[in-house]
Every structure is written in C-alpha cells, then in structure tokens.
Amino acid sequence: MTRYLTGLPHLLPFAVASVLAACGGDPAGPGEDPGEDPSPSGCVRTISNDVTSTTAWAPGEERCSYAVTGVVEVSGALTLAPGTVVRFGPDAGLLVTATGSLHAVGTEAAPITFTGTTPTPGFWKGLAFKSNTPENALEHVVISYAGSEQSFCCDFFYGPGGRLEARAAVVVGSNLGAGSQVRIAHTTVEKSGTLGLFVFNKARLPGFSRNLFRGNVGAPVVVSVSTAGALDGESLYSGNSPTQPEANGDNAVHLVAAPEADTATAQTLRKLDVPYGVSTGLPDTTVEYAGALTLEPGVRLQFEAESGLRITETGSLVARGTAEAPIVFTGRTETPGYWKGISILSLNPDNVLAHARVTHGGSDPFCCDYFTRTGDIRASISVGSALGRGQLQLTSSLVSQGAGWGVFVFKNATFTQSASTYDGNAAGTVGYEASPLAP
C-alpha cells in the first residue's frame, strides 16, 4: 500500500511488485515488505475497447482491478475511484482524445495505481492527454513501469523539424494539438523506461504541485520553455525522496524551445532540486523568449552544445540571484566555449543579471545578424546585434571561461555594470562595436 510523508507519495519498498505478484508478476524479494494486495479476490476486469461514453472504474466490493490491453482511446469522460488499480499489458496505454477526459483523483489513504503487468521499466506506453478540459486530473496517483520505446501514434513529435518522438510515462499535448491540460498533484512517476513527463508547448499544467519523479531511465520532466513556469519548487525531480531515494537517469528538467508566439507571456522559472537542461539532445538550438522571463535565486541552467538563450525585442530577462543563491548559466559539459551564451535584443530597462554566474559560453555567433566589420562575434553575453538594439545591467556577477568575449556590446546597445568580474575569456572582458562615451 502507499504511505505519504510531508505531502509527497512514497511507495513502500516493492509495494507495486507485490501487487503484481497476485496476478502472476514477480514476487517481492527477500527481506522486502510485500505490501498489501489491493485486489485479493483476484477479480479482474479486462479493458480492450475504447472508452466512448461516461464511464467509471472502481474496485467495488469485490476489490477488482483493471487490465488494459493495447492502446485504449478515451473519447468520453473516464473517472477512477480512489484505490483503483489499473495494470497495463505490453505497449498498452490510455490516450485521452480531444473530446475525452481522465479524472483520476485518489486520496492519501487510497491512491490510484497505474502500473504494468510486468514490473519492468518501459513495459507499457503510459498516459497521453490531447484534451483541454479541466476535468483531467492525476492526484494521489502512482504511475510505474511506463515509458515504452513504442511511442503513441501519430503526432507526438518535437524538436527541429519534428524529428524526435516524445516517449514518456505521461505525455501532455501534441505537436498538432490546439491545447491540452492536466492537473498533476501528489503523484509519483517512477521507473519509466524513457522520460517521466513530457509537456508540449501549447499544453498547461494547472495546479502542478508536490510530485515525485524517481528511477526513470531518462529525465524526470521535459517541458517547453512556454510552460516551464508551471513547475513548482516543492516537487522532487531528483528522485531524492526521504524514504526510498532513486535517481533518474538524467537528473535534470529538460527545457526545449517553443515558437516565439507561444513565449509572449510572463512567467517565472523556479529553483528546483535539479538544474534545467536547456535544449538537451538538440544541439545548435537557440531558445527564444518574447515575454517577461524571471529566474528565481538559485536557478541553474545547463545548455546543450552550441545552444543559447535569446531575449527578443518584446521580451525581458530578470535574473536576480543572491550571494548565497546565485543564478548559474553554464554548459551541460563545463568546458570553455561549449554553448553559445545569452543574447539580449530587448530595450526593456528591467533586463538585469545580478549575482549571476555565466560560464563556458561563446561557442559560436547567434544567427543571423551578429556580424560586424571585424567579423562574426562570439561572446558569453551579447547585448544588441548588428541590426538591432539591446539593454542590460550586469551587477555582482562573474563571466568566465568563455571562448570569445565575456560581454560584447553592439553599437546601438546600452550596457552598464557594477561589481562584476571576468576570468579566462579568450577574447577579453568586454568588447564594444563602437567605443563607449567617456564619463
């Protein structure tokens, strides 16, 4: 059975495996708590047909469980009662279509369980949401052994040219959908064969709070930069739960780019217990932001090779760390010139980096108007461009180990600094396309 500590769900050791043992799965190992079988009667209801109307799944007096075979499409309203156990066969899953909903709200005493008939990471596909109804909810839920290599069909692609498939225990949205949403709270996503959670750029996560991601083969969460502000700082993305810690294969929340139009909103990236991996797996990808982007103290961004962050003309960047909790921008591999850097094309007076650490940038120029009569410009921070303007205040920060300039200021840009230091930048500290006016 499931216990809770400080509001987060935690499985007792091998509780899920013991549940599976009642249906022919592997029993608990020596010295492990066998837990409690939620359906000791052996009553099993097999689901192989799509859910097309209002439907409820519940254990009932017989304490029945549900066995899903294949991918079941949910185009009606499906509600699961507290304590319901759903076991999925190989590569099975639930796909909630645009007209459907999945309302799985358990309780602390009676969580809802989605798991595989075999306790193997990636045994079944997972849960996919293409629906935009607020009825979609996963609360006090445990999702185990999903994340099959066989992804959902057919519009779950992302990345430049849509070349990568989203494989995760929970997928929200798609590359063709107008919008999707699901509330996820007090939920454990564990032992996925791929990612824990994947969220497309037009999707939303209202009420996302106090979740646990552990033991997943890939990253705990992949989220578009347009929706990353929905992630809360109380969830555990590192797998470091108090009772049963188990790290994910890549302990970073992956942040992927979104179309500029989808980023024209104000949002805050919160400090998590893992870094944000920007453009991970998608080298040479610039993440643009067209709204007001704020970073909390202690946020750590790790960029993929030759990738970078660009604040467009309509956007702003407010990154105010503290001496105790600086904001860090660095490469996924901390070698000089690993990633592009930060580009500020905005004249917003709010643009500020304070108590920040910008390291290992300057891999190559931003595309496509960063050329001057002295050649293309590489810098860990660039303000403006050859064709545009920009403004930035740099305070109490360190810019170091870059393959180009620490900061480069184009002729129509405004740059002010105080109490900042530079170290090990190949081209120098601060470069100017036009010499600044003497004070």
90-105: average pLDDT: 98
CA distances from 284 to 175, 363, 395 (A): 21, 10, 29
CA distance 137 to 123: 23
Q: Which of 27-41, 44-58, 356-370 shows the lowest mean pLDDT across its residues?
A: 27-41
158-183: average pLDDT: 92
141-155: average pLDDT: 96
Domain that holds residue 407: 282-439
Do 420 and 301 lie in a common domain? Answer: yes
Do 122 and 256 lie in a common domain? Answer: yes
Find the radius of gyration of the CA atoms of the chain: 24
217-226: average pLDDT: 97
Q: Say what the pLDDT of residue 291 is.
A: 98
- Name beta bridge partners: 317: 293
Q: What are phi and psi of 32, to 5 degrees?
A: -100, 145
Asked whether residue 50 carries a pLDDT value surpassing 70, the answer given is yes
CA distance 46 to 401: 59
CA distances from 44 to 36, 41, 64, 112 (A): 17, 9, 5, 16
Q: How many domains does the chain have?
A: 2
Q: Quote the longest CA-to-CA distance of the chain.
A: 85
Q: Say what the pLDDT of residue 401 is.
A: 98
Q: Say what the pLDDT of residue 41 is.
A: 57
Please tell me which residue, 217 or 15, carries the higher pLDDT value.
217
Do 159 and 236 lie in a common domain? Answer: yes
Asked whether residue 106 carries a pLDDT value surpassing 60, the answer given is yes
Asked whether residue 20 carries a pLDDT value surpassing 50, the answer given is no
Q: Say what the pLDDT of residue 374 is.
A: 64
Domain termination site, one of 228, 244, 274: 274
Indicate the pairing of strand 137-139 with strand 183-185: parallel
Asked whether residue 152 carries a pLDDT value surpassing 90, the answer given is yes
Asked whether residue 199 carries a pLDDT value surpassing 90, the answer given is yes
When the pLDDT of each residue in the chain is averaged and rounded to a whole number, the result is 90
Q: What are phi and psi of 15, to 5 degrees?
A: -60, -40
Do 405 and 355 lie in a common domain? Answer: yes
Q: How far is CA 9 from the centre of its chain?
A: 20
User: Residue 210, exposed/middle/buried by CB under 10 A (0-12, 13-18, 19+)?
Assistant: middle
Asked whether residue 245 carries a pLDDT value surpassing 80, the answer given is yes
Asked whether residue 6 carries a pLDDT value surpassing 80, the answer given is no
Instruction: Note the pLDDT tens digit of each residue in 171-183.
Output: 999 998 779 999 9
Do 305 and 202 lie in a common domain? Answer: no
Q: Say what the pLDDT of residue 216 is.
A: 98
Do 243 and 387 lie in a common domain? Answer: no
Do 263 and 380 lie in a common domain? Answer: no
Asked whether residue 437 carries a pLDDT value surpassing 50, the answer given is yes
Domain termination site, one of 236, 254, 274: 274
Do 220 and 251 lie in a common domain? Answer: yes
Question: Which amino acid appears at position 17 of this protein?
Answer: A
Q: Are 122 and 146 spatial neighbours (Cβ–Cβ below 8 Å)?
A: yes
Please tell me which residue, 112 or 241, carries the higher pLDDT value.
112
Q: Are 364 and 430 spatial neighbours (Cβ–Cβ below 8 Å)?
A: no
pTM, full prediction:
0.90
Please tell me which residue, 105 or 386, carries the higher pLDDT value.
105
Q: Say what the pLDDT of residue 296 is.
A: 98
Do 385 and 253 lie in a common domain? Answer: no
Asked whether residue 399 carries a pLDDT value surpassing 50, the answer given is yes
Domain termination site, one of 274, 296, 317: 274
CA distance 193 to 146: 6
Do 252 and 307 lie in a common domain? Answer: no
Do 9 and 80 lie in a common domain? Answer: yes
Looking at the chain, the whole-number percentage of residues with pLDDT higher than 70 is 90
CA nearest neighbour of 152 among 119, 133, 180: 180
CA distance 136 to 100: 9
Asked whether residue 26 carries a pLDDT value surpassing 80, the answer given is no
Do 210 and 289 lie in a common domain? Answer: no
